[in-house]
């Protein structure tokens, strides 16, 4: 059953004293790409760095005294963990979180800092969830599901309430989609006050359980997931979220890995906002002109900003490559004085900026008197890359 306006209003009042009202920021870069007025709803600036505390707080605050006494438990690799623990600590309730052994150190550290007992168990989140369920059954601790509960959906709906208040004439809302809690809540809130507003969910194409589930008319497990957007990599929708999305959401689309990394880069460079890959998929969907019907104004939800610093460097490099601004070429040059200088002069004259040079005499099938040079370059885009390659060919180099 879909949550009601009365339920949403109750949660709005509950969260007002403890939750941040995140800003709405205009994006000229996206507006130019889309031909529509685009604004960003910055849930990456929410407490714990994502929208997750909204639903977690509502769920935990609704527990009985007896349930509170037994504490709460969750399984998560990041955002859900921090949302649950912050909420539990704020409400004076003990919490335990099971995280995969490969969870990033910054996320583990942050979760502990919010007050949880963190247990590293399982190689993947599904195995951590089994451990959390076993702990719940053994101790009576309440398992806080990341998305599939009406209280969670009602908490996330407050994002939609704020959007409707901050953009009273909003024509399209584009929302990242994993398990569906955020999309379900935003759709319920928006459609209750502006039924004509289009609500669009966006998944990573490499972890897209929703298109098949909608086509089948029931939650359906996706066979394989492999995406940088780990925060929205959910193998199967829940029953509660499916009911909301199936009834209220106008369209679900998917985006590829290159677009996701370019979206992260765009937010860093143009909006000065740090957004994690899963939180940037709504932006990615808007970066393909004509891919979506966009009655404006448009709101793109940035659902989270928790990125491991080590991962961020890989993401930005991937984004630069996808945008045609980072090029690596391997060429063969004569192994004699002036050979490398001639290559660098050719690159200089083509307007490329050298980032890194690797010089090897033992690579590939080199002949005597040859050396392979691998050069990483900063370029201005795909056309400039084509110019650089042609300059290398004309100079007698082969990449």
With pLDDT > 70 as the criterion, what percentage of the chain qualifies?
99
Q: What is the pLDDT of residue 390?
A: 86
Q: What integer is the mean pLDDT of 350-376?
A: 80
Read off the DSSP letter of residue 49. G
pLDDT in tens, 122-153: 887 778 889 999 999 999 999 999 999 999 99
Cβ count within 10 A of residue 262: 25
H-run or E-run covering 253:
strand 251-255
Higher pLDDT, 280 or 387: 280
Higher pLDDT, 90 or 361: 90
pTM above 0.95, yes or no: no
Query: In DSSP terms, which residues pair with 373 in a beta bridge?
Result: 331, 359
Q: What is the pLDDT of residue 373?
A: 84
Report CA 222 to chain centroid distance, whole Å: 19
The residue from 128, 192, 261, 303 that is catalytic is 303
Report whether pLDDT(399) > 60. Answer: no
Report CA 356 to chain centroid distance, whole Å: 30
Calculate the alpha carbon distances from 87 to 98, 116, 278, 388, 398 in Å: 16, 11, 22, 53, 58
Question: Is residue 52 among the annotated active site residues?
Answer: yes
Q: What is the pLDDT of residue 196?
A: 97
With pLDDT > 90 as the criterion, what percentage of the chain qualifies?
66
Q: What integer is the mean pLDDT of 191-217?
A: 97
Report whether pLDDT(350) > 90. Answer: no
Q: What is the pLDDT of residue 303?
A: 97
Q: How confident is the prediction for the chain on average, in pLDDT?
A: 92
Question: Is residue 41 among the annotated active site residues?
Answer: no
Among residues 174, 179, 184, 197, the alpha carbon closest in space to that of 154 is found at 184
Q: Contact 84/74 with Cβ under 8 angstroms?
A: yes
pLDDT in tens, 243-271: 999 999 999 999 999 999 999 999 998 99
Report whether pLDDT(311) > 80. Answer: no
Q: What integer is the mean pLDDT of 336-349?
A: 83
The SS3 of residue 124 is: coil
Report whether pLDDT(36) > 60. Answer: yes
Q: What integer is the mean pLDDT of 180-208?
A: 97
H helix intervals, the chain = 5-15, 28-34, 52-61, 65-70, 79-90, 105-113, 125-139, 150-166, 181-193, 210-216, 239-248, 257-266, 281-286, 309-322, 339-350, 382-394
Q: What is the pLDDT of residue 251?
A: 97
Q: What is the pLDDT of residue 398?
A: 64
The residue from 41, 52, 107, 191 that is catalytic is 52
Report whether pLDDT(316) > 70. Answer: yes
Report whether pLDDT(206) > 60. Answer: yes
pLDDT in tens, 84-122: 999 999 999 999 999 988 888 888 999 999 999 999 998
- Please enumerate in sequence order all residues whose Cβ is within 8 A of that of 208, keeping only pairs 6 or more positions apart, or say none: 222, 254
Higher pLDDT, 60 or 126: 60
Where b means 16+ CB within 10 Å and e means fewer, 29-63 reads: bbbebbebbbbbbbbbbbbbbbbbbbbbbbbbbbb
Give the whole-angstrom CA distance, residue 155 versus residue 149.
10
Q: What is the pLDDT of residue 364?
A: 67
- Residue 148 has which token pair? 């599939």
Local confidence band at 343 (pLDDT 50, 70, 90 cut-offs): confident
Report whether pLDDT(191) > 70. Answer: yes
Report CA 221 to chain centroid distance, whole Å: 20
Place of tokens 């702990």: 135
Higher pLDDT, 223 or 247: 247
For helices 79-90 and 52-61, the axis angle rounded to 10 degrees is 40
Q: What is the pLDDT of residue 335?
A: 79
Selection from 37-41, 76-80, 351-355 with the highest mean pLDDT? 37-41
């Amino acid at each position: 059953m879909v949550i009601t306006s009365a339920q949403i209003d109750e949660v709005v009042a509950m969260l007002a004293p403890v939750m941040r009202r995140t800003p709405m920021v205009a994006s000229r870069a996206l507006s130019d790409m889309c031909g529509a007025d685009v604004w960003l709803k910055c849930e990456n600036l929410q407490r714990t760095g994502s929208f997750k505390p909204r639903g977690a707080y509502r769920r935990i605050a609704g527990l009985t005294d007896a349930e509170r006494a037994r504490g709460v438990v969750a399984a998560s690799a990041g955002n859900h963990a921090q949302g649950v623990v912050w909420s539990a600590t704020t409400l004076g309730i003990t919490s335990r979180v099971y995280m995969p052994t490969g969870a990033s150190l910054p996320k583990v550290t942050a979760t502990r800092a919010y007050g949880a007992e963190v247990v590293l168990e399982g190689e993947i989140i599904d195995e951590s969830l089994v451990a959390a369920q076993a702990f719940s059954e053994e101790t009576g601790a309440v398992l806080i599901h990341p998305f599939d509960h009406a209280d969670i959906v009602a908490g996330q709906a407050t994002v939609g309430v704020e959007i409707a208040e901050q953009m009273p004439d909003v024509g399209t809302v584009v929302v990242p989609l994993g398990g569906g809690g955020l999309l379900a809540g935003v759709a319920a809130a928006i459609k209750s006050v502006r039924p004509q507003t289009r609500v669009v969910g966006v998944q990573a194409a490499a972890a897209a359980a929703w298109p098949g589930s909608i086509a089948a008319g029931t939650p359906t497990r996706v066979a394989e997931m492999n995406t940088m957007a780990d925060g929205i990599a959910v193998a199967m929708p829940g029953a509660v979220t499916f009911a909301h999305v199936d009834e209220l959401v106008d369209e679900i689309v998917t985006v590829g890995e290159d677009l996701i990394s370019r979206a992260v880069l765009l937010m860093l460079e143009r909006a000065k906002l740090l957004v994690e890959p899963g939180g940037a998929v709504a932006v990615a969907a808007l970066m393909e002109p004509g891919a979506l019907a966009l009655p404006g104004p448009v709101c793109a939800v940035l659902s989270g900003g928790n990125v491991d610093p080590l991962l961020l460097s890989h993401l930005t490099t991937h984004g630069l490559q996808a945008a045609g601004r980072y090029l690596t070429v391997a060429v063969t040059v004569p192994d004699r004085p002036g050979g490398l200088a001639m290559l660098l002069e050719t690159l200089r004259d083509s307007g490329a900026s050298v980032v890194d040079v690797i010089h090897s005499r033992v690579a590939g099938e080199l002949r005597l008197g040859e050396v392979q040079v691998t050069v990483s370059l900063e370029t201005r885009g795909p056309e400039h890359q084509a110019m650089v390659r042609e300059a290398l060919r004309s100079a007698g180099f082969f990449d």
